[in-house]
């Protein structure tokens, strides 16, 4: 892990107590039932074009979790930080549960509120805090998901992310219109790919755009 990612990991762990609380910030509240999904819909992938040189989004692939006329947010799936012990993440959140076992891949999910933590997982797991996305993937922003994974009762596939990517009303549509982002249908094999350094290339090939 390079120095920058190591520093980010330390920062994220130092503030994880906030991120693993069961309270979600306003931008992440579930969309009202009356709010129709905008295009591209939740579950789709945003693929950063080569012209994006901002290091926060360089070669990023974002899983869209919510997109309505009021804005959008998602999680970057291919900016890995480390593989961390679940017990360490819980301990950073003030929950010293010594009964949990195992590790979880950790990513930098985006530049917005990196003190917040999210478990992105397959749709076979759900709690009252879970936000369903498209019937294939879901997101749970509570430490109970981590505990269930550590106790062998969690989803089949998962990773943990610090922070998220967010857009205001019309912002994402404008960025797509000027070809900052390309889109592709969600692919669980990409979302939970163990080799995250190749996800951008694979997603771009899936989109079929030659830059």
Domain boundaries, the chain: 3-21+37-207
At 59, phi and psi to the nearest 5?
A: 55, 30
pTM: 0.84
- Nearest alpha-carbon partner for 186 in 134, 145, 141: 134
pLDDT at 124: 96
Mean pLDDT by 10 residues, the chain (211 residues): 47 46 40 65 94 94 95 96 93 86 96 93 95 94 94 96 95 94 90 91 76 41
DSSP H helical ranges for the chain = 3-14, 16-19, 86-92, 143-150, 171-177, 188-191, 199-207
- Evaluate whether 182 touches 49 at the Cβ level (below 8 Å): yes
- Evaluate whether 107 touches 83 at the Cβ level (below 8 Å): no
pLDDT at 35: 61
| Cα–Cα dist 142/31, whole Å | 18
pLDDT at 41: 93
pLDDT at 84: 95
| Cα–Cα dist 105/85, whole Å | 9
- Residue ranges of E strands in 123-203: 130-132, 137-140, 158-168, 181-184
What is 3-21+37-207's CATH topology? VC0467-like (3.40.1740)
pLDDT at 43: 93
- Evaluate whether 110 touches 165 at the Cβ level (below 8 Å): yes
Structure tokens at 84: 């961390």
């Amino acid at each position: 892990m390079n120095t920058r990612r190591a520093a980010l990991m330390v920062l994220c762990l130092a503030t994880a107590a906030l991120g693993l609380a069961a309270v979600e910030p306003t931008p992440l509240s579930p969309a009202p039932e009356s709010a129709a999904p905008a295009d591209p819909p939740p579950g789709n992938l945003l693929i950063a074009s080569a012209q994006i040189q901002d290091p926060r989004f360089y070669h990023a692939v974002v899983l869209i979790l919510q997109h309505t006329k009021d804005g959008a947010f998602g999680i970057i799936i291919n900016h890995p930080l480390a593989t961390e012990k679940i017990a360490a993440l819980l301990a950073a959140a003030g929950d010293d549960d010594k009964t949990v076992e195992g590790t979880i891949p950790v990513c930098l999910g985006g530049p917005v509120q990196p003190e917040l933590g999210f478990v992105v997982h397959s749709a076979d797991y759900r709690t009252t805090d879970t936000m369903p996305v498209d019937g294939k993937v879901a997101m749970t922003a509570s430490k109970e998901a981590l505990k269930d994974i550590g106790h062998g009762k969690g989803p089949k596939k998962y990773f943990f992310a610090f922070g998220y990517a967010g857009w205001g009303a019309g912002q994402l549509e404008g960025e797509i219109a000027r070809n900052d982002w390309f889109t592709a249908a969600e692919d669980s094999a990409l979302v939970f790919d163990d080799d995250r350094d190749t996800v951008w290339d694979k997603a771009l090939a899936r989109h079929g755009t030659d830059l």
